[in-house]
Amino acid sequence: MATRQPDALPLEGRRILICRPQPEADRLATAFRDAGADARALPLITREPLPEDPATRTLILNLDEFSHVIAVSPYAANLLLEWLDTWWPQTPAGIHWYGVGAGTAAVLASHGLNPLQPETGHTSEDLLQLPELATLDHEKVLVVRGEEGRELIPQTLENRGARVTMLPLYRRYCPNYDKDTLKAMLNDFSPEAIVTLSGETLNNLIALSENTGHNLEDTLLVVPVERIAEQARQAGLRRTCIPGSLADSTIVAAVARQLASVDGGSGNTK
């Protein structure tokens, strides 16, 4: 009996550029390479913890005063857990913990917490659909995030009666790449798909592309939600892909389907 030949790798030879922060960029690049892609990382956001200050320390020490604690990203959740390990040998009881998306919730769960998360979706809008956040009569809510971010969660919860406090634990900025690096990654490599999983990342990519003369119009942009896809369209970029989730395997599968739909999966188009 003839032996069945293994299927070809779904992204054999495809050129994929990943603009996520580290270490997520390298992890996702590995997943793409496992599917046969030529994947490279060009993080367009770098994150760094903010220095310890009295205000942050006071909020952490008074954590038991809050009824709800929301972490907006896995990075925010990890930094929060480091603070808890330092100042709370035993996690305060009676708090409802939340993660925006499965990845954030998984970080909190790894600490023995029991976080609530949307049953479907991974956005702030999805989180705000949870019944536990529907009516908040003067309840205290702590939102753990970066130095800057969307105001949707705090504004919505305040409108629902909550007393919201922000706890910024890190800052984000665009790395300063030299012209040779940008030319190699954008012009010479000429990626067929670029992973940009935030509006800030997309803005940084557009600015750098304009500075290097690289045309993004024919490039597939992987974005997290329709809101960012619309942001791309406003910039004249109409080839977007929204994966069903932000899990690495889901992103890889979505890109494979999109690129295959363009040319029947016949291979590299360069």
For residue range 127-149, list pLDDT tens digits in order: 999 999 999 999 999 999 999 88
Tokens 């270490």 found at? 23
Of 246, 179, 178, 172, nearest to 203 (Cα)? 172
What pTM was estimated for this model as a whole?
Answer: 0.86
In whole angstroms, what is the distance from residue 213 CA to residue 31 CA? 29
Q: What pLDDT, on the 0 to 100 scale, is given for residue 6?
A: 45
In whole angstroms, what is the distance from residue 226 CA to residue 230 CA? 6
In whole angstroms, what is the distance from residue 70 CA to residue 95 CA? 10
Strand order in the sheet with 96-99: 46-49, 163-173, 140-146, 68-71, 96-99
Cis bond upstream, residue 23 (ω within 30): yes
In the chain, CATH 3.40.50.10090 covers: 15-45+175-263, 48-172
CATH number of 48-172: 3.40.50.10090
In whole angstroms, what is the distance from residue 179 CA to residue 216 CA? 17
Q: What pLDDT, on the 0 to 100 scale, is given for residue 263?
A: 65
Say yes or no to pLDDT of 51 above 90.
yes
Say yes or no to pLDDT of 3 above 70.
no
Residue 28 CA to its chain's centroid (Å)? 12
CATH number of 15-45+175-263: 3.40.50.10090
Say yes or no to pLDDT of 23 above 50.
yes
For residue range 153-166, list pLDDT tens digits in order: 999 999 999 999 99
